[in-house]
Amino acid sequence: MEIFISQQELADIVQELGAQISRDYAGKRLLLVGVLKGAFVFLADLARALTIPCEVDFVTASSYRDGTLPGAFEILQDLSSSLQDYDVLVVDDILDSGNTLSVMLEHMKSKNPRSLELCALLDKPSRRVVPVQAKYVGRQIPDAFVVGYGLDYAQQYRHLPHIAVLTDENN
């Protein structure tokens, strides 16, 4: 397996995002909402790269891949019903087709947060089907299947400290 983004590069990316978010959310009531499972490593590091207070929560979405209708999307573990006192930043591992996050964002909007933005560690813009944009993106990548740092292939590789490209010899 080829290392695509090293542990040091990830640390630098997260540090930069943390600094940017800390500036933008100074004086606000920041709630980081991680999308499980993929966001667990990134969110843990991002929260510790902030220099401002924040609260942390998680949502779990049922996973579906290409070919499944957005209607099949299901939130398996939700947040409290109102987010009106919070500036919500949804944190996810990767923005791919945009299906998951567009439904997730609509769902969050219905809880009336003070503000709502998206932070994705990785972004594959060439794969987008639904027009979702993240205000904060760690790194744009080409259309390759990547694993590690929370990202999985069939639930494997989430624990890798770097991002690797999964090639055919691995599966």
Catalytic residues: 96
Residue type, 119: C
Q: Which residue has the tokens 């639930």?
A: 155
Dihedral pair phi/psi, residue 109, rounded to 5° = -60, -35
Q: Is 137 in the site for ligand IMP (CB under 6 A)?
A: no
Q: Name which of 28 and 107 has its Cβ closer to ligand IMP.
A: 107
Q: Say if residues 132 and 118 touch (Cβ distance below 8 Å).
A: yes
Q: How far is the CB of 80 from ligand IMP (least distance, A)?
A: 23
Separation of alpha carbons 151 and 42, rounded Å: 10
Q: How far is the CB of 52 from ligand IMP (least distance, A)?
A: 26
Q: How far is the CB of 105 from ligand IMP (least distance, A)?
A: 11
The site partner of 24 among Mg ion, ligand IMP, none (C-beta below 5 to 8 Å per kind) is none
Among 22, 97, 115, 133, binds ligand IMP (CB under 6 A): 97
Residues 20-59 that bind Mg ion (CB under 5 A): 38
Among 45, 87, 96, 117, binds ligand IMP (CB under 6 A): 96
Q: What are the tokens at 30? A: 């920041």
Name the percent of the chain in helix, strand, coil, to the closest 5.
Answer: 25, 30, 40
Q: Name which of 38 and 148 has its Cβ closer to Mg ion.
A: 38
Residue 149's CB is within 10 A of a number of other CB atoms, namely 25
Residues 32-61 that bind ligand IMP (CB under 6 A): 38
Helices H / strands E in the chain, number of each: 3, 9
Q: Residue numbers of the site for ligand IMP (CB under 6 A)?
A: 38, 92-101, 145-147, 151-152
